[in-house]
Every structure is written in structure tokens, then in C-alpha cells.
């Protein structure tokens, strides 16, 4: 019985780092909107975009704006 508990504990400890990374994935084959903004050369701003920049999308699940010059 002790062996079973020890194996279960080991399995939980091995799987815990994997569970933390699951929330970072947005979906299979999809990138986060922050990554897409940076790939286009933009920056994510919670405040309005600076002068001479345009809004190209959103970042952080729609909480910020992607500003591109």
C-alpha cells in the first residue's frame, strides 16, 4: 500500500510542471496575440497608441492594443 502512495506521489510531482505550462498554450497550432503583434513589429500598450502609430489588433486577450508605426 505504501508503494502505491509513493508511486502516486511521484506521478503527481512529475506531472505538476506540465500542468503549469498548459495554461500558457492558447491552442494547438495557434500563437498568442502578443506574439503575433511582436512578429509584425508592433508593441502592446494598455494606454492609447503613441502619435503616428495605428492600432493593428489586440494583445493579452483583448486587454491591450497592438500599435504599429
pLDDT level of residue 6 (50, 70, 90 thresholds): confident
| Sequence spans of domains, the chain | 31-69
pLDDT level of residue 17 (50, 70, 90 thresholds): low
pTM: 0.56
Residue 23 has pLDDT above 60, yes or no: no
Assign domain 31-69 one CATH number from 3.10.20, 2.60.120, 3.10.360, 1.20.120: 3.10.360
Residue 20 has pLDDT above 60, yes or no: no
DSSP string, 7-63: HHHHHHHHHHHHHHHHTT--STT---HHHHHHHTT-EEESSPPPTT-EEEEEETTTT
* Beta strand pairing call for 43-45 and 54-59: unpaired
Amino acid at each position: 500500500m505504501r508503494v502505491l502512495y509513493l508511486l502516486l506521489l511521484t506521478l503527481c510531482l512529475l506531472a505538476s510542471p506540465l500542468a503549469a505550462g498548459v495554461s500558457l498554450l492558447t491552442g494547438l497550432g495557434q500563437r498568442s496575440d502578443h506574439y503575433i503583434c511582436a512578429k509584425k513589429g508592433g508593441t502592446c500598450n494598455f494606454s492609447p497608441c503613441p502619435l503616428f502609430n495605428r492600432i493593428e489588433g489586440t494583445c493579452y486577450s483583448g486587454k491591450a492594443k497592438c500599435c504599429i508605426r
